[in-house]
Amino acid sequence: MNPLERDLFTDPDLIRDPTPYYAALRAHGPIKQEPHHGVFMVSGLEEVLAVYADHASFSAVIAPLGPFIELPKPAEGETIADVVENRSDEIPLSGQLFTLDPPKHTRHRALVAKLLTPNRLKQNEEFMWALADRMIDEFVDRGEVELCRAYAEPFALLVIADLLGVPSEHHERFRGWLQGEGALVAGDAGAMGGGEKVFANLHPYFTRYVEERRAEPTNDVLTQLATVRFPDGELPEVADVVRIAATFFAAGQETTARLIATGMRILAEQPDLADELRGDPEAIPNFVDECLRLESPIKGAFRLVLRDTQLAGVDLPMGSIVMAMNGAANRDPRLFDDGDRFDAKRRNARRHIAFGHGEHFCPGASLARAESRISFERLLARLDNVLLRDVAALSYAPSFIIRGLESLPLCFRTRS
């Protein structure tokens, strides 16, 4: 069957490996409407950048779920743009940073910029070096490890916890949530998975701390988080600050963990490359960017068409949905030669759009790069002859948005 006749959003084989779908899209052209949900799939890099840049024509309000979000119907005399502007509270997830449009998005993103100061990032990087070795210590003598649960996921979680000022004595509590332990929330917490428990607990956890620090400020990072202000000096609602913190955890932990796992899978498959990077750690940043290009942790994002428009000669009617396909665009042959091939020395690897573009460019991009660089440097320094323990056990996230491994069983020798 032609890959374009299959449903990218539900087909388990395409969720495991979307490469055939990407290739079929490229052969067709930069935009094609898929037959199952009517989504216009935008796979050309130039065209994806145009979608991300045109906020008057394309709204991020449906970014994570696209056709699976039920939009309110416009009333008589209303346009879809009016609905997004005036009735966004009726749209699921519309209050999150990644679903906001300018100028509201610009205003809330400014809160993030005030938290990610160069000094804070430097302090956080110092924490990463120690954390990486501490976590490797837990499994280095065993000769085998399932890297996602033992390293990538908790490492990414605890890095963000430290960045946002979670006291070190609470770090094991966060890690316990990731492993499915305990809960602060009411309801049937026992039915939740580890990731769900983390994010269910984040809101009450940070709400309490923001309220406490506003009542009694102290000289710590949580107080900075609690007292951060909009550019005009207005103090945000507690819920706004908590959403920023939760977004950091949801977006940063998930994607960075996938990136680390992707890189280690490639290194296990290419032992000569692992040896090259051990001998030349300065080459690791380019390796990271090539991992991001070839296996973008975010496959893409949806946009709602606010007005009749045209892109690359294709008419996009008002109310239709497009998917800006970062993963496909990062293999666009107009920019990347032999784009389906991994090349750790690719000279333009950094021109990928794995972190998005424009207003919605990921504010944690530098953080993710640092986490990955440090992880690969320490893992390569301490583990030798890293191999896939069971290729059949590799499993990928069952998601049409997230691209990445959920399980990576490795065996290795300890480097002396």
Q: Give residue 234's pLDDT.
A: 93
Question: What confidence score (pLDDT) does residue 196 get?
Answer: 63
Calculate the dihedral angle through the C-alpha atoms of 217, 222, 225, 228, rounding to the nearest 10 degrees. Answer: 20
Q: Supply 253's token pair.
A: 């932990």
- Greater confidence, 224 or 251? 224
- Distance (Å, whole) CA 231 – CA 234: 7
More confident residue, 114 or 81: 81
CA distance 238 to 63: 24
Domain that holds residue 144: 3-414
For range 82-94, the mean pLDDT: 90
- Highest mean pLDDT: which range of 58-72, 244-258, 392-406: 58-72
What local confidence, expressed as pLDDT, does residue 185 receive? 45
Say how far residue 409 (Cα) sits from the centre of its chain.
22
Question: How confident is the model at residue 183, as a pLDDT?
Answer: 54
CB 148 within 8 A of CB 416: no
Using DSSP's 3-state secondary structure scheme, residue 255 falls into helix
Q: Rounded to an integer, what distance in angstroms lies between the CA atom of residue 316 and that of residue 321?
A: 8
Rounded Cα distance, 201 and 161, in Å: 13
CA 40 – CA 411 distance, rounded (Å): 43
The percent of residues in the chain predicted with pLDDT above 90, rounded, is: 73
Residue 187 has pLDDT above 60, yes or no: no
pTM, entire model: 0.92
pLDDT for 197 equals 66
Output the six-digit token pair for 92: 């699921």
With a cut of 80, say whether residue 226 has pLDDT above it: yes
CA–CA separation, 131 and 118 (whole Å): 20
Q: What is the pLDDT of residues 308-366, one digit of tens each?
A: 999 999 999 999 999 999 999 999 999 999 999 999 999 999 999 999 999 999 988 99
- For the ranges 131-145, 183-197, 232-246, the one whose mean pLDDT is highest: 131-145
Q: Residue 158 has what pLDDT? A: 95
- Predicted confidence at residue 416, as pLDDT, reads 76
Which distant-in-sequence residues (6+ apart) come within 8 Å of 145 by Cβ?
139, 151, 409, 410, 412
Of 54, 62, 67, the residue nearest 83 (C-alpha) = 62
Mean pLDDT of 73-102: 91
Q: What is the pLDDT of residue 192?
A: 47
Determine which of 50-54, 241-245, 322-326, 411-415 has the lowest per-residue pLDDT on average. Answer: 241-245
Q: Per-residue confidence at 94, pLDDT binned at 50, 70, 90? A: confident
Check if the beta carbon of residue 260 is closer than 8 Å to that of residue 155: yes
Two structure tokens written together for 165: 């000022």
Residue 279 has pLDDT above 80, yes or no: yes
Helix (H, G, I), strand (E, B) or coil at 95: coil
Name the average pLDDT for the chain. 91
Please give the structure tokens belonging to residue 170. 């609470």
Q: Tokens for 59, please give them.
A: 């709204």
Q: How many CB atoms within 10 Å of residue 106?
A: 12
Q: Report the chain's C-alpha Rg in angstroms.
A: 22
The answer to whether residue 188 scores a pLDDT higher than 50 is: no
Given a cut of 50, is residue 248 above it in pLDDT?
A: yes
- CATH assignment at residue 249: 1.10.630.10
Q: Residue 78's pLDDT is what? A: 93
* Number of domains observed in the structure of the chain: 1
Look at residues 176, 138, 142 and name the one whose alpha carbon lies nearest to residue 378: 138
| Of the listed ranges 28-37, 84-93, 182-191, the one predicted with least confidence | 182-191
The secondary structure of 330-346 as a DSSP string is TT-TTTSTTTTS--TT-
Distance CA 163, CA 124 (A): 6
Lowest mean pLDDT among 31-45, 145-159, 196-210, 259-273: 196-210
Strand partners, 252: none
Is the CA virtual torsion 51, 301, 366, 396 positive or negative? Answer: negative
Q: How confident is the model at residue 410 (pLDDT cuts 50, 70, 90)?
A: very high
DSSP conformation letters of 165-221: T--GGGHHHHHHHHTT---SSSS-GGGS-HHHHHHHHHHHHHHHHHHHHHHS--SSH
